[in-house]
Structure 1
Amino acid sequence: MSTGPAGHVTRSFIVPNSETATRAPLRRFLTTDDGVTIDAVYEPGGVVYDGSGDRSDASTPSSDHLVFVVAHGFTGDADRPHVRRVAEVFAQYGAVLTFSFRGHGASGGRSTVGDREVLDLAAAVRWARELGHTRVATVGFSMGGSVVLRHAALHGGPGRREHRGRTEAAPNAHAVEAVDAVHAVDEVDAVVSVSAPARWYYRGTAPMRRVHWLVTRPEGRLVGRYGLRTRIHDQDWNPVPLSPVEAVPRIAPTPLLIVHGDRDGYFPVDHPRMLAAAAGDAGELWLEPGMGHAEHAADNGLLRRIGDWAVSRAG
């Protein structure tokens, strides 16, 4: 056992130096570009799809198979049962990297509710690349859904890099290669956004009015800290970050899937429709009948369909 930077006790995983090492989970504190420590867990997964539809044991190939980087919703963390369930399903399709956003669980810092969290996701994606993965799919829920959209808009993927090389002037070929090398460690190959808002400051539903009370009021932040294990920043956004609907057009040609329930109590269906309209032909919308909000409402069948989609698109 060890104590994390936020004062929480967290377990450490020891990876044995043996043929079974690729099966053992690995836990690490990552450091973001702005110096925040992020609690992250990497699990190789038991079965790997190589993109052709074939299944293989995760301990047989190298770690270049697909990895799912899961971005949880507000007040979640890497150890919450609903996040662990998501990870268990995705482990049937590849490796899984879960982490706790800043201000959540054992991670350091305080939550900015979707703003600087993009740096947390970037650190997680970077670790996945360092582990040798050549295919990365980000899957975000609610707040995490908005973060994966903004992250992909900022970093893009191989298609974006090729486009950048064709259209952006550079002093010489070496300069283009240097820019590509920097972006390659943060880029993603497929993006899935589940139950995300399309725009900021939405208060049109009772659950979102409660969230705004939690974030903006001192007594609400106390409830978040001691009741929900979520430490929330007390300052307003400055500047206001790019909204999800503004980010979506910048993601193409990286494959994008938008998933939303038609009974979502937080964000009604005009939010996913706005995101899909902004994506145009570059995005895909699944409006799920009877589904509520985020991880709790995403049943295993839906998660398996998302896994199939990611395998087919991130290859």
Structure 2
Amino acid sequence: MKTAVNILTGLALLIVAFSLIVVYANTHPPRYALHIPPSDHRAAYENVTFETSDGVMLKGWLIKPPQEKPGMPGIIICHGLGANRSDFTDLAVMLARRGYWVLTFDFRAHGESGGSRSSLGYHEQKDVAAALAYLASQPRIDRNLIGIFGFSLGGSTAILAAARTGMFAAVAADSAFTSLREQAREAVTGFYHLPSFPFVNLAVLGYEIYFQTSARDIAPEAVIGRLAPAPVFIIAGDGDEMIPAENGRRLFRAAKEPKELWIIPVAGHGGTIAAAGDEYGRRLGEFFDSHLRR
């Protein structure tokens, strides 16, 4: 009997330990060096630094449009987990050439920014708010004509931050998840191939203790309806196994008009731009043109 109790106790401790390891691994992504600066495209830009409300210093690039004049629109670009601002240099330069000031930056604990851990969308909302304040302070930008684009974690955070601030005139999100709990379930069962119970609940509990918050606060599906009347463009890859396209469909259903949905065939996670080719930049550019031009 004592042996059985010891075995069960040891097994329980292993399950708890593994769940905590999963939380730690996903909130401490490796940092990667920047690549493809805007200068590779001969685009004019500035290295910028701005501070969040909780004192984290963030680094970014402010990419300039070919022609500058007062009252211009701006766009913020948010990368995914474990990436950095240079992942979307091509897209940022393309949007700048359409006549936008584009701010692409590193989230906390990524790239060249400060911070040691990612909260998977909770504190990152402060990063977006700081980026918005910085871009809105630029003299040639109309603060009422600022849009945001994000991928994966960046897309989810863009929705959350837009709902919280009410300051974005247009929101585009690629491969965003519906909620942190659902994403934890997807990771546990799909990536780690483990049973949902008890690993999902333990991972979520570990996250909540670690960040002193509730996972319910990281649920883009629950808040996306607040973005109206700002337009929403939801993009997803039909071959995405990490954040399945059903996340995009659910976000679209929860959003209010005006809204658009684009499910890109075959595209896996991080592969939507490659799968869609030039159509990606064209459709994203047309979305922002439709809603950020006066």
Q: Does the 8 Å CA contact 1:89/1:304 hold for their aligned counterparts?
A: no
Q: In structure 1, what residue type is equivalent to 2:226?
A: R
**Quick check: 1:100 aligned with 2:118?**
no
- What letter is aligned with 1:41? W
- 2:48 matched residue in structure 1: 28
1:136-175 equivalences in 2 (<5 Å): 136-156=146-166
Shift of 1:8: 10
* Residue 89 of structure 1: aligned partner: 94
Shift of 1:249: 1.0
Given that 2:74 and 2:102 are in contact with CA atoms closer than 8 Å, whether structure 1 keeps it comes out as yes
User: Per-residue deviation at 1:29?
Assistant: 1.5
- Mean alpha-carbon deviation: is it higher for 237-246 or for 124-133? 237-246
User: Does the 8 Å CA contact 2:73/2:146 hold for their aligned counterparts?
Assistant: yes
Equivalences, count: 234
Note if contact 1:207-1:266 (Cα within 8 Å) is conserved in structure 2. Answer: no
Percent sequence identity is 28
Structure 1's 234 and 302: CA in aligned 2 closer, same or farther, altered over 3 A?
A: farther
Say yes or no: does 1:292 pair with 2:272: no
Q: How many angstroms apart in 1 are the aligned matches of 2:232 and 2:90?
A: 23
Q: 1:300 & 1:155 partners in 2: Cα distance?
A: 32
1:28 Cα deviation from its structure 2 partner: 1.8
* Correspondence 1:271 to 2:253: no
1:313 paired residue number: 291
Measure the CA separation in 2 of the matches of 1:127 and 1:208.
39
2:202 maps to: none
**In 2, are the aligned partners of 1:192 and 1:256 still within 8 Å (CA)?**
yes
Residue identity in the other structure for 1:88: V
Q: TM-score, normalised by structure 1?
A: 0.67
Aligned match of 2:176? 196
1:285: how far off? 1.1
Query: RMSD of the alignment, in Å?
Result: 2.9
* Aligned position for 1:39: 59
How far residue 234 of structure 1 moved from its aligned partner, in angstroms, is 9.4
Conserved in 2, the CA contact under 8 Å of 1:89 and 1:300? Answer: no
Matching residue of 1:256: 232
Output the amino acid matched with 1:86. L
1:33: Cα distance to partner? 0.7
**SS in structure 2 of the partner of residue 204 of structure 1:** helix
The answer to whether the 8 Å contact 2:32/2:83 transfers is no
Residue 131 (1) aligns with residue 138 (2): yes
Partner letter of residue 189 of structure 1?
A
Q: Which has the higher helix share?
A: 2
Q: Deviations over 1:187-226 (max 9, x none)?
A: 111000111011213233689636x9xxx9xxxxxxxxxx
SS in 2 for 1:258: strand
Give the whole-Å Cα distance in 1 for the aligned partners of 2:102 and 2:190: 30
The higher-RCO structure (CA 8 Å, 6+ apart) is 1
**1:126 Cα deviation after fit:** 1.0
The structural deviation recorded for 1:269 is 2.2
| Pair member with larger Rg | 2
**Shift in CA distance, 205/36, structure 1 to aligned 2, threshold 3 Å:** closer
Task: Write the letter of the residue equivalent to 1:288.
Answer: I
Aligned to 2:210: 235
> Following the alignment from structure 2 to structure 1, what is the Cα–Cα distance between the partners of residues 290 and 223?
23
**1:72 shift after superposition:** 0.5
The one of 191, 208, 219 aligned to 1:209: 191
Further displaced range: 25-34 or 277-286: 277-286
SS where residue 58 of structure 2 aligns?
A: strand
Name structure 2 gaps, 5 residues minimum: 1-30, 38-42, 200-206
Q: Give, in whole Å, the separation in 2 of the partners of 1:107 and 1:233.
A: 24
The match for 1:69 is 76
Instruction: Give unmatched runs, 5+ long, in structure 1.
Output: 1-6, 14-22, 47-57, 157-186, 217-231
Alpha-carbon distance in 2 for matches of 1:293, 1:144: 13
| Offset from partner CA, 1:90-117 (integer Å, 9 cap, x none) | 2222221100000001100121111110
